[in-house]
Amino acid sequence: LDPLGGAADLAAGILRSCSETVLQDDPLRVLKGVRHCQFLDLQPDRDTLERMAAAVVALPRAAPERIRAELGQILAGASSSRSC
């Protein structure tokens, strides 16, 4: 089952948020999205990119160790110059 069409999005190289509030609910997902773009060679769709930009201001709500872990994974990536 794939009710949100995630498999088709992945095949097309698209990162799409699954709901309007998912990034506001957990702002760390913005960094996770950047990491997925980097490692899976994805591009966010317009709505997702706008939601990421809006949610990034709430990133300080996330635990510092979670932020550090995500940033570490992003920076350690082989293609860290390529991100959303």
What's the pTM value of the predicted model, to 2 decimals?
A: 0.86
CATH fold of 6-76 reads Hydrophobic Seed Protein (1.10.110)
Closest CA to 43 of 12, 81, 73: 12
Each residue of 21-80: pLDDT tens digit?
A: 999 999 999 999 999 999 999 999 999 999 999 999 999 999 999 999 999 999 998 655
Q: Do 17 and 50 contact (CB within 8 A), yes or no?
A: no
Read off the tokens for 31.
């960094």
Domain boundaries, given as residue ranges, for the chain: 6-76
